[in-house]
Amino acid sequence: MGHIIVIGAGIVGLATAHHLLREGVCVTVVDRDPEGDKASFGNAGGIAVTEVIPASVPGVLWKVPGWLADPLGPLAIRPAHAPRLIPWLLRFSRAGRPSEFKRITAALAALNTRVYDDLLPLLAEHDLREELQQLGALTVYEQEAAFDEDAMQWGLKRSCGIEVRTLTGNEAREIEPALSQSITRGVFTPQWSHVRDPKTLVDKLRQSLLARGLCIQVGEVCGIRPGLEGGAVSVGLGDGRWLPADKVVVAAGAWSGLLARSLGDKVLLESERGYNTTIPDPGVVLSREVIFAERHFVATPLSCGLRIGGAAEFGGLHAPANFKRSQALARLAERYLPGLRTEGGTCWAGHRPATPDSLPVIGASPRHPGVIYAFGHGHLGLTQAATTGRLVSDIALGKPPLVDLAPYAISRFN
C-alpha cells in the first residue's frame, strides 16, 4: 500500500497514522487546524476500559424528562436542533432494548479488552509511557438506592471480565480522602487508568509521528472522490486542490458524518457536547479519576490541574457553547470535595462524536472501498483510539481483523 490520507489530527487520526507508518505506509494527515483545539485535547483523560455499557440502557428514557428539566443538568437538547435529532433519538431508544443492549455491550467489550494491547506499545514507541497513570478509578454514590439500581450494570461488567470491587463510604474515603461524608458507597475499578494530560499526549504524539515521516497538510476537506488525479481516491480541499491517495481514512470526529453522507453512506452521528473546568490550584488532592455516579460528572487529577467535567448537550456543530455548564459542574463538585477552590478555573467545551448505539464506526465504505471510516467513539475516543488505529491499519492492508468488525459497520444505519 503506497499512500494513505487520514482526515483528522485528533487522537483517532494520529493513532491510525501511527499504525500505518509502522507498516511502512506513506501517510498524510489532513486537518484544517492540526494543532488546534479538539475533543481529543480537553477530554477527561480516562482510559475507561471498564465502560462497556451503552448510553441507552433499558429504562433510561424515563429519566430523560427529569434531566431536561434542569437547565444546567446532565442532559440538554437545544430547541432549534430538536427536530433534526429525532432519527438519532429513535435509534437511541431502539439501542436500549434488552437484546440490543446485550449485543452492544459485547461489541464494546470486544474493543475495550484489546485497549492496553494496542495502547501500551504505542505509548512505549513514542516514549510516552509516563503519560499513563494506571491507578484505577473510583465510582462513588451518595444514595444506597442509586448503588442498588446500578447493580445490574456492575454485574454485567463483571461478566465481561472487568474487575469490580465494591466499597463502603469509609473505604472509598480511605483511597480518596478528599471525598465528603455524603459518599456512602464506592466501586473501585483497577483496570481503568488516566493520562496525565490529553492535550500533551496528542501534541507529543503528533510531533513524534512527524519525526518518523508523517506528513501533515493544513486544509479543510470539502469532498472525497474516487479515482481522480491518478489516485484510487482523492481528497478535495477548500482551496480547490485535490490530493490523490490509494486509500482515505475518515477520522474527523464529530464532523465525519458530513463526509460520509457526501459519499452516499447513511450514518447517524451527532455532536454530544461535553463541558469541563480545569482548576490549576484546587486545594484538594485526588489520586485517580473519580466518577460521581448520580450526578453524571467526573473529576480527573491532570498535570494541568483538577478537571471537573461531564454534561451531554445536543445542539449541532454550530451552536455557541454555554460555559455556564462548565461553571455549574465546578460548583457541583464543591459539594463532594470539601475545601475545593474553583477560582482560576479554565472552562472548555468539546464535541463528542456520538452514535445512537454508543458504538464507533470502523470499517470500509460499502460504496467506496477506498474509504475507511474511523469515527463515532462518543465518550471513549481516547480509550479506543489505539485499537481503532490498529483495526483500520489491518483493514487498509487487507489483514484479517483482530475482532469481528460487523457491529461497527456503517451499513448498520441503512
Residues near ligand FAD (CB under 6 A): 7-13, 30-33, 38-40, 43-46, 48, 220-221, 251-255, 274, 276, 309, 350, 352-353, 375, 377-383
Task: Give the nearer residue to ligand FAD in terms of CB position, either 3 or 173.
Answer: 3
For the bound state, the minimum distance from the C-beta of residue 241 to ligand FAD, rounded and expressed in Å, comes to 13
Burial track 23-35 (b if 16+ CB lie within 10 A, e otherwise): eebbbbbbbbebe
For the bound state, the minimum distance from the C-beta of residue 274 to ligand FAD, rounded and expressed in Å, comes to 3
Task: Give the nearer residue to ligand FAD in terms of CB position, either 38 or 185.
Answer: 38
Task: Give the nearer residue to ligand FAD in terms of CB position, either 29 or 337.
Answer: 29
For the bound state, the minimum distance from the C-beta of residue 151 to ligand FAD, rounded and expressed in Å, comes to 24
Contacting residues for 217 by C-beta, under 8 A, at least 6 apart = 28, 29, 30, 31, 237, 243
For the bound state, the minimum distance from the C-beta of residue 37 to ligand FAD, rounded and expressed in Å, comes to 8
CA 94 → CA 88, 216, 361, 410, 411, distances in Å? Answer: 10, 40, 18, 17, 16
Task: Give the nearer residue to ligand FAD in terms of CB position, either 6 or 396.
Answer: 6
Task: Give the nearer residue to ligand FAD in terms of CB position, either 116 or 255.
Answer: 255
For the bound state, the minimum distance from the C-beta of residue 168 to ligand FAD, rounded and expressed in Å, comes to 26
Task: Give the nearer residue to ligand FAD in terms of CB position, either 140 or 169.
Answer: 140
Task: Give the nearer residue to ligand FAD in terms of CB position, either 85 or 169.
Answer: 85
Long-range contacts formed by 206-213: CB under 8 A, 24+ apart = 206/9, 206/14, 206/34, 206/35, 208/126, 208/127, 208/128, 209/14, 209/17, 209/18, 209/21, 209/126, 212/21, 213/21, 213/26, 213/27
For the bound state, the minimum distance from the C-beta of residue 66 to ligand FAD, rounded and expressed in Å, comes to 22
C-alpha to C-alpha distance for 217 and 31, rounded to whole angstroms: 7
Contact 109, 52 (CB under 8 A): yes
| Burial class of 326 by CB neighbour count within 10 A (0 to 12, 13 to 18, 19+) | buried
Residue 73's SS3 state is coil
| Burial class of 86 by CB neighbour count within 10 A (0 to 12, 13 to 18, 19+) | exposed
Task: Give the nearer residue to ligand FAD in terms of CB position, either 184 or 316.
Answer: 316
Contact 299, 138 (CB under 8 A): no
For the bound state, the minimum distance from the C-beta of residue 53 to ligand FAD, rounded and expressed in Å, comes to 14
Residue located via cell numbers 486545594: 283
For the bound state, the minimum distance from the C-beta of residue 223 to ligand FAD, rounded and expressed in Å, comes to 9
